[in-house]
Amino acid sequence: MNLPYIRIETNIETKEDLLKGLSSLVSKLLGKPERYVMASIETKKMIFDGKMDPCAFVELKSIGLPEGRTDKLSGELCDFIEKNTGIKKDRIYINFVDFKGSMWGWNGTTF
C-alpha cells in the first residue's frame, strides 16, 4: 500500500473534473485503489521564467514511489495537465517524494 498524495499549485482556475481525473490517473499509474489516493489543487499567484503565463508545480508523494518510473510518471502527468488545462509541459515542475511507511500516518497509525 503506498497511499499516494498528489497536489497541484497553479495560477489558473480549474474545474472539479480536473481533480477527479487526476485522482483516477494517479490510481492507474501507481496501480493502487483510488480509495487510497488523495488529490488537491490550489490556485495561487505564481511566476515562472519571469512570466505570469499559466504554470504549475506538482508534488507526488507516496510510500515506495518507484524511482525508476519517475520519467514515465512525469510524462503522463504533464500530458494530462496540458490536455486538461492548456498549461504547456515546459511550464510544469514536478517533485516526486518517496516516504518510509513510518513517516506516513493514516487511520490513527502509521505504515
Quote the distance between the C-alpha of residue 20 and its chain's center.
12
According to the model, what pLDDT value does residue 96 have?
97
Q: Are 107 and 32 in contact (CB under 8 A)?
A: no
Catalytically annotated residue among 4, 33, 54, 66: 4
According to the model, what pLDDT value does residue 101 have?
76
Find the mean pLDDT for residues 80-100: 96
Q: How confident is the model at residue 38 (pLDDT cuts 50, 70, 90)?
A: very high
What is the pTM (predicted TM-score) of this model?
0.91
Q: How confident is the model at residue 106 (pLDDT cuts 50, 70, 90)?
A: confident
66 is catalytic: no
Q: Are 1 and 58 in contact (CB under 8 A)?
A: no
According to the model, what pLDDT value does residue 45 have?
98
Q: Are 37 and 4 in contact (CB under 8 A)?
A: yes
Checking if the pLDDT of 109 tops 80, the result is no
Other C-beta atoms lying within 10 Å of the C-beta of residue 51: 9
Nearest of 97, 2, 94, 3 to residue 56 by alpha carbon = 94
Q: Which domains does the chain have, with CATH numbers?
A: 5-110 (3.30.429.10)
The residue whose grid cell reads 499516494 is 4
Task: Quote the percentage of the chain above a pLDDT of 70.
Answer: 98
- The grid coordinates of residue 19 equal 481533480
